[in-house]
Structure 1
Amino acid sequence: MTPAPPVLVAVIGPVEPALLTAWTAHYRALGITAFHLAFHFPDHVPGPWRDHLLTAVGELGITPATVSTGPWHEHTNSELRDHLREQAGPGWHLLADSDELLTFPAPLGEVIVTAERAGRVVVGGLMLDRVTPDGRLAHWRPETGLDRAFPLGGHLTHRLLHGDPRKIVLVHAGVPVASGNHRAPGHKPDPGALACVHHFKWRAGVLDDLRRRAQNFASGNWAEHTPAVRDEAGRLLDHVEGHHGRIDVADPRLGFRRVTLDQLPAGWAAEARTIVTRWRPPAANPRR
């Protein structure tokens, strides 16, 4: 018996309507029919931008569960996500940020059946950062498509930024998930069946967002639990400053190569297993 599709749960910030449209189409193609979305807008976001995005989501046939404005404290995303999960009810929840498009090793229904037969209540994924051919943080046009605009996938997040690349992408209702969807305390995903979390964060405007985030956390305007977010932002800003405003796609540490959303990268199962099983939080967070 094919299980019911999971409910997609996501907290959305001030992204481009075109990205939201592509994101929604991707998940509908995977079989998602129920979207539980919260929109949160920091105070600096102009009203017309907010209104334009909310109009766009309405045209996609989705009614947001909640819309809020104000500081984006480190706990804001988790609180909104957990409220959405309570509303979503029983069954499986798919967790994906608005810049994360998932590719699974099998159709979504099969992934869930396999997890249930193994007695697992979570399914994991590993982030693969998507960038332009030359590493520029570029605007993209909807008609170009994400795969053509950002054809390279590599391991920027954990090899350069020292961030946690692990993700919980499917979780059963009632199972708590940590901040950032990185872990489900007490539950381990199958490391041999990890989804690829295509991470389309590195677009035009992200540097301003990172600077603003670092400044607000440092000043105390936005509450933080640890300096990890600021540290990761600083590493990325230092990197692009040292490479003429670009990500160094030729750096062999980062492993950039051509990938697409319609299939897992070559050798993904072994590569992802190795990274997930070996990854440990950095003992300290110096920029390097």
Structure 2
Amino acid sequence: MLSTPPALISVIGPVEVPLLAAWVRHYRWLGIERFLIAFHFPEHVPDRHGHELQAACRELGVIPTGSSTGPWHEHTNTELRDTLRQAAGPGWHLLADADEFQQYPAPLPEVIAQAEKSGRRVIGGLMLDRVAASGHLTGWRPEGGLDLAYPLGGHLTHRLLRGDPRKIVLARHDVTVSSGNHRAPGHRPDADRICAVHHFKWRSGVLDDLRRRVQHFSSGTWKEQSPAVRDEASRLLAHVGQRGGVINISDPRLAFRRVNLDRMPFGWPAEARSIFTSWRPHVPTGQD
């Protein structure tokens, strides 16, 4: 007997209204019926934008569980997420940020049934960073869609930024998930069944967000648990700063190629398995 559909858990910041709408539609298409969303807005976000997002959310048929404002400490997201998970109750929880569009090789009920059959309590994903064909950090038109605006997918997060590309995309309600949904201590996903997490972060406005993140974490205005998030932001800013604001899409390490949300990337199972099993945290050499 299959489990009930998972509850989607997400803490959402000041994204564009069209991105939120596309995100809700995507997960409904995957079969999600319950959305537990909390909004959190740092101090620089105009009240009007927060109100617009919450109104749009309701128009989409999703009632936000809560909304808060203030510093975005590194622990803020985790605490809000865990409060939502507690409210969601028993069953499977799907964990996704508003710029993460998960893609599975089979319908979600089959994916969950396979995990339960094998005794696993988590399902893993791997980030696939989506960028514009030019490498510029552009905006996008809702009528064209995200695939048209950001047709390339590659491995920017871990090969350039040295961040953890691994994600826990689904977890049973009683499984503890680490900050950023990167790990579930004591639980190992099936490396042969890794979901693609299309990561639409690299859009217009992200550079201002990254600069703000570096500034606030460096000054202590926002509290961090380690310098990793700040260092990743600094690496992206340095990369585009040396290239006139453009991501180097021709760098073979980053493996950018055309992908879309309609079908899994060619060769994904082997590619994802290799990265998922070999990734290790970056150890500074003193030359970073």
| Matched ranges for 1:1-288 at <5 A | 1-284=1-284
The alpha carbon displacement at 1:258 in A equals 0.3
AA at the equivalent of 1:152: L
The alpha carbon displacement at 1:4 in A equals 1.2
AA at the equivalent of 1:131: V
Gap change, CA 1:119 and 1:3, over 3 Å in 2? same
AA at the equivalent of 2:31: G
- Alpha-carbon separation, structure 1, partners of 2:45 and 2:51: 10
- After TM superposition, the score normalised by the length of structure 2 is 0.99
- Alpha-carbon separation, structure 1, partners of 2:239 and 2:56: 34
Number of positions where the alignment pairs a residue of Structure 1 with one of Structure 2: 288
Cα deviations by residue, 1:175-225 (Å, 9 ceiling, x for unpaired): 000000000000000000000000000000000000001100000100001
Contact residue 231 and residue 286 of structure 1 kept, 8 A: no
Instruction: Specify every segment of 5 or more residues in structure 2 that has no aligned partner in the other structure, as ranges.
Output: none
RMSD, aligned CA: 0.9
The alpha carbon displacement at 1:257 in A equals 0.2
Gap change, CA 1:102 and 1:286, over 3 Å in 2? farther
The alpha carbon displacement at 1:285 in A equals 7.2
Gap change, CA 1:82 and 1:287, over 3 Å in 2? farther
AA at the equivalent of 1:157: T
Gap change, CA 1:128 and 1:286, over 3 Å in 2? farther
SS in 2 for 1:171: strand
- Alpha-carbon separation, structure 1, partners of 2:144 and 2:261: 14
Gap change, CA 1:285 and 1:70, over 3 Å in 2? farther
AA at the equivalent of 2:172: H
- Alpha-carbon separation, structure 2, partners of 1:285 and 1:104: 37
AA at the equivalent of 1:127: M
Gap change, CA 1:230 and 1:82, over 3 Å in 2? same
Instruction: Specify every segment of 5 or more residues in structure 1 that has no aligned partner in the other structure, as ranges.
Output: none
- Alpha-carbon separation, structure 1, partners of 2:65 and 2:285: 37
Contact residue 74 and residue 225 of structure 1 kept, 8 A: yes
Contact residue 166 and residue 182 of structure 1 kept, 8 A: yes
Cα deviations by residue, 1:81-136 (Å, 9 ceiling, x for unpaired): 00000000000000000000000111100000000000000000000000000111
- After TM superposition, the score normalised by the length of structure 1 is 0.99
AA at the equivalent of 2:75: H
SS in 2 for 1:37: strand
Runs of at least 4 residues off by over 2 Å: 285-288
